[in-house]
Amino acid sequence: MSRRRYGLAAAAAGAVLVLAATGCTAGGSGSSSAGSGGRPVLTFFTFETPNLDAKYWDAAIARASAKVPGVKIKKLVAPSADRNGYVKQLAASGQLPDLMISVNPDGLAQSGKLTAWSAADLADYVSPNANPIGGKIYQLPYNTQPTPLVYYNKDLFAKAGITAAPATYQQFLDDCAKLKSKSIDPIIVGGGGKDTFADGYPDIAAVGTDVYRARPNWLAERRAGKRSFTDPAFVGALKKVQDLAAKGYIDKSGLSRDYAATEQAFRDGKGAMYPMGSWFAASADAKKPGFGVGVFPWPSDDGKTVVPAYTGGGMSVSSTAPDVPLAKKWAKAFMEDKANLDASVRADGSIIAIRGYTPPAGMGPVYRATDALYQDAAKRHALVNAFTVETGDTGLVPGVSDRLWAGTADLISGRTTADELAKNLDTEWAKDTK
């Protein structure tokens, strides 16, 4: 789930790492490899949210285990929302879990701590080469999440006299002006507390339409030293966000909201448009707002569809698991089980990237509209990487995304400019790649 880029609470130097576990103590590759009766014991690191609670994970674990006899699973639950940072702390202390879901493999893979998936392992996946690290795949790419789309309040659109979603960026600006003239905040953002990432969805959208559409491998070229953040196209994308804020189309007071409060502000009708990942579709259908919810892709200048998306999120396996082949077999059983996939779709709005999969019947209208938009973009070859969400060889180097979120808050509030933010990102990149 790409939205969970929350900050990791700082741990005191030398503090003992503690991991919430179900029926066990923390442990991974360094823990006992056999349970009662000599069965292998594999530790499985996951996370819990209101959508994906303990009951959800326990049921999914049981379904996978029924397909792979002879294995016992210890569920380990992340104690903080930043599971990527926490897993790296576990790895440093010799406690890397045997199985991990939705954990960025970057860093772990390069240090030999993960097992690569083979071409045969990935034969049934729609995007078998998603997020390579040194040309190898370390995370099962089972789920695609458009990030962001623009969800909108149909009632507020009607109040402003807007009869259809905008197709071009100029129409988008015109609609923002109409909404503002009716004292309606056009665009909802967040960014408060640890959820600094919640201000960045307009950035991701603008980079997708104005940078990645023309140069799909732009960030890989940036890693190779062929591009910089001060390139005119990238600065131009940031200037669009700066301009939206300067015109009052982005609610600056929203920068104090955390992620949950940002969603609630949209639900409460405090703004007309909510740039957000496709997972919001599940939330909107499960707990319907008091208005109709529509969805459209962030518009490009010429009106051609561009949809930033990330495919990944699946299992990674430790290279030092007690039984690596068995761990890989269990991981695939978990990820490819139809009931598990259906549960993920219902709970988190997943767009499953496994061949032959179809969503369960009875999905709600916002999910159906989101899925239809994504499938249409895929047919048009209109998908691009989601800036900052992409991982592996095309991902940002550590530290730069945090600087981007802080800089975006300054950009929206008027404390910095697009040119200054771009220069700061290049400076941060240089420091983090020394």
Please report, for residues 175, 200, 294, the alpha-carbon distance to residue 182 in angstroms, rounded to integers and kept in the order given: 11, 26, 20
- Determine the pLDDT at residue 37: 55
pLDDT digits (tens, 9 = 90+) for 277-315: 999 999 999 999 999 999 999 999 999 999 999 999 999
Q: What is the DSSP letter of 416?
A: S
pLDDT above 50: residue 10 = no
Please report how the helices 418-432 and 232-246 are oriented relative to each other, as an axis angle in degrees rounded to 10. Answer: 130
User: Over 70: is that where the pLDDT of 11 sits?
Assistant: no
Distance of CA 366 to CAs 236, 255, 280, 301, Å?
A: 32, 26, 9, 26
Instruction: Give the confidence band of 6 by pLDDT, cuts at 50, 70, 90.
Output: very low
Average pLDDT score over residue span 65-88: 90
Q: What is the pLDDT of residue 128?
A: 96
List alpha helices for 93-168, DSSP H: 154-159
Digit-coded pLDDT (tens) for 407-430: 999 999 999 999 999 999 999 999
Q: Sign of torsion, CA 274 280 283 288?
A: positive
Q: What's residue 84's pLDDT?
A: 85
Q: Rounded to whole angstroms, how far apart are CA atoms 25 and 41?
A: 12
pLDDT for the residue numbered 52: 85
Mean pLDDT of 124-138: 95
Each residue's pLDDT tens digit, 216-275: 999 999 999 999 999 999 999 999 999 999 999 998 999 999 999 999 999 999 999 999
For the chain, the average pLDDT equals 90
Q: Mean of the pLDDT values across residues 169-184?
A: 98
Report, in angstroms and rounded to the nearest whole number, the Rg of the chain calculated over CA atoms: 22
Of 221, 224, 248, the C-alpha closest to 233 is: 221
**Beta strands in 174-280, from DSSP E residues, in sequence order:** 273-276
Q: Mean of the pLDDT values across residues 196-209?
A: 97
Cα distance between residue 272 and residue 293, in whole Å: 10
Whether 7 has a pLDDT exceeding 70, the answer reads no
Q: Which whole number is the average pLDDT over 115-126?
A: 97
Per-residue pLDDT reduced to its tens digit, 14-67:
223 344 555 433 333 444 455 545 678 999 999 998 778 999 999 999 999 999
Q: Which two tokens stand for residue 69?
A: 């006899």
Question: What percentage of the chain carries pLDDT values higher than 90?
Answer: 82
Question: For residue 32, what pLDDT is reported?
Answer: 42
Q: What is the pTM of this model?
A: 0.88
* List of domains in the chain: 20-140+315-350 (3.40.190.10), 149-309+384-432 (3.40.190.10)
Supply 141's token pair: 């790419």
Residue linked to tokens 């009662």: 36
